[in-house]
Chain A
């Protein structure tokens, strides 16, 4: 008997039945394919403008920061102003994402820019958000060649550029966007605020192993 048969056999003995027949398994297969939603809290079932407001409020509550800008052209200014105001270095590693390649970085020549994944010495990263969940102020950051995971983790400061139209209410809407736009990548990170630990006396300290600062640049592109 293989270890797999051993485990499955023991499970079936506990459940007092043999392996499911095709007919018995059909509704389960159907359930997986249809992936029905369960109860979704009312708090995010509001109009889109209100979802954006809720998203911002929740990011802020979780110690992140958000700035709203009118368009892609405003991104370099917003980022360099943020870095200056926080006394942070202006050396940034940027995700090789088409939307970020459209950003007129040369408007701010003082920004020192490298494209790629993050290394241990990069102080600041900029990546393109895929979607954001208003319910809890959560960013959805799926991995892709143009969205390396290390950007979310290694730098002290993580900046996420996000189109306001990509703010959804509950997580379920974000899953559906992901399913519609390519399916499950290697890694999907849901990020809610900067990294923290409460391991010392159960008291919250920001800046554990991941970024100490999380800043969202929200581009107004939605039609309200």
Chain B
């Protein structure tokens, strides 16, 4: 597993000094925020639909074993096969086995985060099978040998000229005088290159946004149509999905779809929402002959019944990272693993272990924006706080921080002393700040005052002001 989360601080510093990344973040982020806001404003029932979405997911998680078994029965009824995979290794092997049985040399791929998580492409390549990413953003980062920096917009960190540079490098047949003046020119070039790949592939691998127990279907949601070409043209379709993707019925899925696209790209509905159920039927003129669903656990079942169970409701819409000020400052790569932003800061420690990822739950201002936009109402800051508690319990917190926290706790447990001390320090700070009412630098807070002044406290302590307000209210 490639993970650079232990170097989060260095990563973040590098990201903030990366002019290209900062430009990309500044250009792209406002689009997401504005589009979601518009979509939500146009649907008066949106907040109620979030409750529905949360409830559907909670119901499913409480009966996950039942719905997964029902799903499998219905996949088999439709002529498909489910492959159960407890670990990433099992999932990689299952996919490779299916590809080998199909005598596959090239496979096309639709965007899938679980494929990134289990590092499927490396595994296929090592075994002589060439995986071709077909989502436009995934395609360029595959050429650049990078990881996605965002769960729905993998090339979020790139600017338009990066695309041109990469195409000139990788598409060796490209005439030197070919112009890429418009975004459309980039799109046309990628479309032409990938068309040939779609038609040549032996196996198509997609992810799944949902699995439907009622019908045994896997569902993909895309705008480009690449996922559909991936699963329609080759002889074999493999859908990769984690266990928590299952929902009971088409109606349940439909309710979740109503909040998914709006939260993700701010569309009312994505261009292609496609339900695949088994292989080609008698007399069908197209479609794959074989249909496989690789169902992966890889640590999810361990979250059930824990304080992190709520995280399994996630439908991967990316609203939390789009709205996160930390993500907005450092982008996705700095987080060091597959899942960035607030959802990653909760999920990554669950899947990769807290030892290597303890920086992530701390990479939050707890502003609460992520929770306020999450379509399935995951209490992300609360879950990050649980990780911080565990970090403290397991003595993973740095010594100085532990000492300071200990000191604060000692005071906080002695209210009278605490109030006296805060009163005294307010007074002292006011006095020391002089006429300007602010500090340009402070001992032990150098990092903080480097970027801004610290205003001196005004008025009394909270308790003093509360008491004064109550006195004023009484007749």
Bound-state Cα–Cα, A150 to B309, Å: 40
Total contacting residues, chain A, CB less than 8 A: 77
CB–CB B225/A15 < 8 A = no
CB–CB B251/A37 < 8 A = yes
Complex interface: chain A residues within 8 A of B154 (CB): 199
CB–CB A210/B252 < 8 A = no
Bound-state Cα–Cα, A37 to B26, Å: 41
CB–CB B78/A184 < 8 A = yes
Identify B224's interface contact among A2, A8, A145, A195, CB under 8 A: A195
In this assembly, does A207 line the interface, its C-beta being within 8 Å of a C-beta of chain B?
yes
In this assembly, does B90 line the interface, its C-beta being within 8 Å of a C-beta of chain A?
yes
CB–CB B68/A192 < 8 A = no
CB–CB A15/B269 < 8 A = no
CB–CB A148/B286 < 8 A = yes
Contact status of A188 and B163, CB under 8 A, knowing A16-B305, A58-B268: no
In this assembly, does B85 line the interface, its C-beta being within 8 Å of a C-beta of chain A?
yes
Contact status of A186 and B254, CB under 8 A, knowing A31-B249, A196-B224: no
Complex interface: chain A residues within 8 A of B251 (CB): 35-38, 172, 175
In this assembly, does B102 line the interface, its C-beta being within 8 Å of a C-beta of chain A?
no
Contact status of A120 and B65, CB under 8 A, knowing A184-B277, A190-B273, A198-B31: no
Complex interface: chain B residues within 8 A of A135 (CB): 268
CB–CB A184/B217 < 8 A = yes
Total contacting residues, chain B, CB less than 8 A: 103
CB–CB A201/B184 < 8 A = no
Complex interface: chain A residues within 8 A of B272 (CB): 189-192, 195, 210
CB–CB B271/A201 < 8 A = no
Interface positions, chain A 148-187, Cβ under 8 Å from B, are: 148-150, 152-154, 170-172, 175, 184-187
Identify A205's interface contact among B31, B183, B284, B304, CB under 8 A: B183
- Mask of B292-325 contacts with A, CB within 8 angstroms, 1/0: 0001010001111110010000000000000000
Identify A209's interface contact among B49, B72, B226, CB under 8 A: B226
In this assembly, does B418 line the interface, its C-beta being within 8 Å of a C-beta of chain A?
no
CB–CB A11/B183 < 8 A = no
CB–CB B62/A15 < 8 A = yes
Q: Pick the interface stretch among A75-83, A99-107, A136-144, A215-223.
A: A136-144
In this assembly, does B283 line the interface, its C-beta being within 8 Å of a C-beta of chain A?
yes
CB–CB B301/A14 < 8 A = yes
CB–CB B281/A199 < 8 A = no
Bound-state Cα–Cα, A14 to B61, Å: 10
Complex interface: chain B residues within 8 A of A50 (CB): none
CB–CB B271/A196 < 8 A = yes
Contact status of A209 and B275, CB under 8 A, knowing A198-B265, A200-B186: no
Among A31, A117, A137, A148, the one with the most B-chain Cβ atoms within 10 Å of its Cβ is: A31
Identify B163's interface contact among A172, A175, A192, A200, CB under 8 A: A200
Within the complex, what minimum Cβ distance (angstroms) separates B296 from chain A?
9
- Mask of B250-265 contacts with A, CB within 8 angstroms, 1/0: 1110110110000001
In this assembly, does A53 line the interface, its C-beta being within 8 Å of a C-beta of chain B?
no
Q: Pick the interface stretch among B124-132, B191-199, B419-427.
A: B191-199
CB–CB A199/B153 < 8 A = yes
Interface residues of B (CB under 8 A from A): 24, 27-29, 31-32, 43-45, 48-49, 52, 56, 62-70, 72, 78, 83-86, 90, 134-137, 140, 153-156, 159-160, 163, 183-184, 186-188, 191, 194-195, 198-199, 213-215, 217, 223-226, 228-229, 232-233, 243, 248-252, 254-255, 257-258, 265, 267-281, 283-287, 295, 297, 301-306, 309
User: Which 6 residue pairs spanning A and B have beta carbons closest together?
Assistant: A210-B225, A14-B304, A208-B224, A199-B137, A10-B301, A202-B28
User: What are 10 inter-chain pairs, A to B, with CB distance below 8 A?
Assistant: A3-B86, A7-B295, A32-B214, A39-B52, A199-B153, A199-B154, A201-B183, A202-B29, A208-B187, A209-B229
